[in-house]
Structure 1
């Protein structure tokens, strides 16, 4: 009888401990999914290249019991032809050197921009979401006050 009771207690304890651990992973996944959906909703006025950017998550950090989650990643895209031309245009060059400068084709480069969000949770429910980077998406106190006043 003692062996059954001990076995039942061990199994119950393991189940409770594992249930607590899964909340942390669920909150991390929920924050990452929220980051992806909010990025898809960004207007071209805020972040012009958001529609062509590819988000890759580099790191996720979780606070005590999953109540605070920070997701860090990067937004990357290849330069467009106009961006390459603007970046490689000679400054103040004469006509002859400008022809020589444009004869050499320039390869488009990958543009990478840091992205990070912070989510706070009450249990498994999302309490708040805010962008930490890029700067175009971060709301300052003045921006938040004007948004809430409208």
Structure 2
């Protein structure tokens, strides 16, 4: 009889301890999901979670990660006129050298190198530019009372952090 009571007490204690441990993970997951939904409401950027830490019993959870913003390459359309200007400048510089009769041998080498420079510039102009990713560190804090969320605050980046309300008396 004493063994049965002891084993029931041990199983009950283990179940209570495991239930307390899972609350931490549930609060951490809830804070991560809340952070993703708050970011999705403000921008289409991607959030990557790097670390999530929980305080005692999951009462305070801090989630850290990064926000990736993809920037469309606007420099591709802006660089096309500058490449065309460089090509016309190279061909203009090549013409007086070939017209000079005294430097005909050196003009051929300058003309050949100028032509290869233009083709490299044209190749760069034809190559599609890769979109750039801007990575911004992000962090958020959630406070819980048991499984219930009390507060959510952005810690970073600065444009998502709301200033604390000033108490005027």
Q: What range is the shorter-chain TM-score in?
A: 0.7 to 0.9
Residue matched to 1:26: 26
Q: Report the more deviating stretch, 12-21 or 100-109.
A: 100-109
Partners in 2 of 1:59 and 1:13 — Cα distance?
30
Partners in 2 of 1:35 and 1:102 — Cα distance?
45
- Report matched runs for 1:17-96 at 5 Å: 17-42=17-42, 50-51=43-44, 53-82=45-74, 85=75, 96=85
The unaligned stretches of length 5 or more in structure 2 are 89-117
1:118 aligned onto 2:141? yes
The unaligned stretches of length 5 or more in structure 1 are 43-49
What is the number of residues matched between the two proteins?
A: 131
Residue matched to 1:11: 11
- Which structure is larger by alpha-carbon Rg, 1 or 2? 2
**TM-score of the pair, normalised by structure 1:** 0.74
**TM-score of the pair, normalised by structure 2:** 0.67
Structure 1 segments (4+ residues) deviating >6 Å: 98-102
Higher relative contact order (CA 8 A, sep 6+): 2
RMSD of aligned alpha carbons: 2.8
Q: Which has the higher helix share?
A: 2
SS in 1 for 2:136: strand
